[in-house]
């Protein structure tokens, strides 16, 4: 057992190394410039990084309902927030006070499993399946989703049965007597169950946090180097890094990948930045993701499949393509799950909703002109500076590289951009992160 865990941890760390080594081997920066940049970031303390807007980090209590957490994230226009333990208000240890980070990626997994389990329960047979074999239904749902543990851990099997019963009642009222029809008509009724009925209504952030977490909670101190933060946000795949003063466990700052790239955009006019920004992305080895590695979704596929694909590949977005030539027609982000949770009309017949219809509905609901917002793209000969400008000014997390008639040939993420500016000095991980950091990264 111990050997298996050790092998798993070794594999995870090696995957970080493989990504970063690939980047370093493809960059064409002069070694002297690379060394100078890395040394400069190593001298900059985290305390110099700008605070979050408003100067106060938005936090969510662990006993907050998932529905309320979605509202908080949406109203504050943020993608994630630290989760505070209400039972450890007086503790001076951040490990006691903070349980992790809640974001749309965790919420989408919870929603997908809950919705699919409910539909599976209904499809299994009508009221009999929903009312008799809860264990069997849960197992069937897990198999259908390719899930093994999270559903049971979060209590979603029981919740799914409750939703199935609600769907069955709706079917008896005229929506359709057979189970498949009831499942397809789940729509608004599932939404109501999800946010207004038990046990969904009382599902808290803490109950889904560990089961659906994509990345660990790893804080740094104000006197830590920005190089360490940049490595965590690039090589080690974190999307955000909390800043905590030793002995004062409240979070002082919350540094995200987006904030770093926006900070780089603000460095225009400085020689070191302009020197790199003027280079075509191909000189930096971008896109790191090759043509055959791009994970995309056809516009006529189901939006449910798109979110599943993000879940299965642990990515935050997909280019939406049309036809065999991968012509890009849009982009779907994991944060778009908020539209399903905040706009119940989108849940109507959601199991048959295509990606294209979903994007059009979002545009219509937002009262924006036109149909689908044009995707944000760049060309193979675009400069790194123009890519950074697009990412920062549009507040997006990825930009697709297109060639010919808008055929997708690669994707550039915030992580990729940050990786362009740094490399990891020898023994930096052991010297600045140590064993405890390795343990947390392998969670």
Confidence (pLDDT) at 194: 54
Pairing mode, strands 317-322 and 297-298: parallel
Residue 253 inside a domain? The answer is: no
CATH number, domain with residue 329: 3.10.580.10
Confidence (pLDDT) at 198: 57
Confidence (pLDDT) at 12: 53
- Tokens 């790239």 sit on residue: 261
Residue 387 inside a domain? The answer is: yes
Give the C-alpha separation, 159 to 430, whole Å.
44
Residue 405 inside a domain? The answer is: yes
Three-state SS letters, the chain: CHHHHHHHHHHHHHHHHHHHHHHHHHCCCCHHHHHHHHHHHHHCEHHHCCCCHHHCCCCEECCCEHHHHHHHHHHCCCCEEEEECHHHCCCCCHHHHEEEEEEHHHHHHHHHHHHHHHHHHHHHHCHHHHHCCHHHHHHHHHHHHCCCCHHHHCCHHHHHHHHHHHHHHHHHHHHCCCHHHHHHCCHHHHHHHHHHCCCCCCCEHHHHHCCCCCCCCCCECCCCEHHHHHHHHCCCCCCEEEEEECCEEEEEEEEEHHHHHHHHHCCCCCHHHHHHHCCEHHHHCCCCCCHHHCCCEECCCEHHHHHHHHHHHCCCEEEEEECCCCEEEEEEEHHHHHHHHHCHHHHCCHHHCEHHHHHHHHHHHCCCCCCCCCCCEECCCCEHHHHHHHHHHHCCCEEEEEECCCEEEEEEEHHHHHHHCCCCCCCHHHHHHHHHHHHHHCC
Residue 170 inside a domain? The answer is: no
Residue 358 inside a domain? The answer is: yes
The pair phi, psi for residue 242, each rounded to 5°, is -75, 150
- Tokens 């039972």 sit on residue: 87
Structure tokens at 250: 């409240």
Q: What b-and-e string marks burial along 178-188, b requiring 16 or more CB atoms within 10 Å of the CB?
A: ebeebbbbbbb
Confidence (pLDDT) at 141: 36
Domain hosting 396: range is 276-420
| pLDDT tens, the chain, 443 aa long | 444 444 444 445 566 778 788 878 888 778 888 889 999 999 999 999 999 988 899 999 999 988 888 888 888 888 889 999 999 878 888 888 999 999 877 776 776 666 555 555 545 444 344 443 444 333 333 333 333 334 333 344 444 444 444 444 343 433 333 434 443 444 444 445 555 655 556 788 998 887 766 667 889 999 999 999 999 999 888 889 999 988 887 899 999 999 999 999 999 999 889 989 999 998 888 998 778 889 999 999 988 888 888 878 878 889 999 988 889 999 888 777 777 666 656 556 666 788 998 888 776 655 543 344 568 899 999 999 999 999 999 888 899 999 988 899 999 999 999 998 988 888 777 666 544 455 555 55
Confidence (pLDDT) at 279: 92
Residue 365 inside a domain? The answer is: yes
| pTM score, whole prediction | 0.77
Give the C-alpha separation, 112 to 81, whole Å.
21
Confidence (pLDDT) at 392: 94
Residue 209 inside a domain? The answer is: no
Confidence (pLDDT) at 133: 40
Confidence (pLDDT) at 27: 80
Number of domains comprising the chain: 1
- Identify whether the C-beta of residue 105 lies closer than 8 Å to the C-beta of residue 212: yes
Confidence (pLDDT) at 322: 92
Residue 94 inside a domain? The answer is: no
């Amino acid at each position: 057992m111990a050997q298996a865990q050790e092998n798993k941890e070794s594999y995870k760390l090696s995957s970080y190394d493989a990504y970063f080594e690939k980047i370093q081997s493809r960059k064409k920066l002069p070694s002297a410039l690379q060394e100078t940049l890395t040394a400069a970031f190593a001298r900059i303390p985290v305390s110099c990084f700008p605070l979050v807007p408003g100067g106060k980090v938005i936090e969510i209590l662990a006993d907050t309902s998932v529905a309320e957490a979605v509202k908080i994230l949406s109203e504050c226009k943020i993608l994630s927030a630290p989760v505070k333990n209400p039972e450890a208000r007086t503790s001076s240890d951040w490990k006691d006070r903070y349980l992790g980070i809640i974001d749309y990626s965790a919420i989408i997994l919870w929603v997908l499993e809950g919705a699919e389990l409910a539909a599976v329960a209904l499809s299994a047979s009508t009221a009999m399946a929903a009312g008799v074999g809860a264990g069997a239904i849960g197992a069937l749902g897990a198999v259908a989703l390719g899930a093994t543990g999270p559903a049971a851990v979060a209590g979603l099997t029981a919740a799914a049965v409750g939703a199935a019963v609600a769907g069955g009642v709706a079917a008896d009222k005229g929506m359709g007597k057979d189970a498949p029809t009831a499942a397809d008509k789940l729509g608004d009724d599932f939404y109501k169950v999800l946010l207004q009925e038990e046990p969904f209504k009382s599902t808290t952030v803490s109950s889904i946090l560990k089961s659906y977490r994509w990345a660990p909670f790893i804080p740094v101190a104000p006197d830590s180097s920005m190089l360490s933060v940049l490595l965590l946000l690039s090589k080690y795949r974190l999307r955000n890094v909390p800043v905590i003063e030793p002995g004062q466990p409240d979070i002082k700052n919350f540094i995200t990948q987006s904030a770093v790239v926006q900070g780089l955009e603000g460095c225009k006019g400085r020689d070191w930045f302009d020197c790199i920004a003027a280079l075509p992305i191909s000189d930096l080895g971008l896109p790191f993701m090759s043509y055959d590695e791009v994970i995309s979704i056809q516009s006529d596929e189901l939006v449910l499949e798109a979110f599943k694909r993000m879940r299965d590949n642990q990515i935050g977005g997909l280019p939406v393509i049309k036809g065999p030539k991968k012509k890009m027609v849009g982009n779907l982000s994991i944060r778009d799950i908020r539209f399903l949770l905040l706009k119940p009309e989108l849940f109507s017949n959601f199991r048959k909703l295509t990606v294209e219809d979903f994007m059009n509905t979002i545009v219509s609901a937002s009262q924006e002109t036109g149909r689908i917002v044009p995707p944000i793209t760049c060309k193979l000969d675009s400069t790194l500076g123009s890519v950074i400008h697009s990412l920062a000014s549009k507040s997006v997390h990825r930009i697709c590289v297109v060639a010919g008639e808008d055929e997708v040939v690669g994707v550039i993420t915030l992580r990729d951009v940050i990786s362009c500016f740094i490399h990891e000095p020898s023994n930096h991980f052991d010297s600045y992160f140590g064993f405890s950091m390795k343990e947390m990264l392998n969670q």
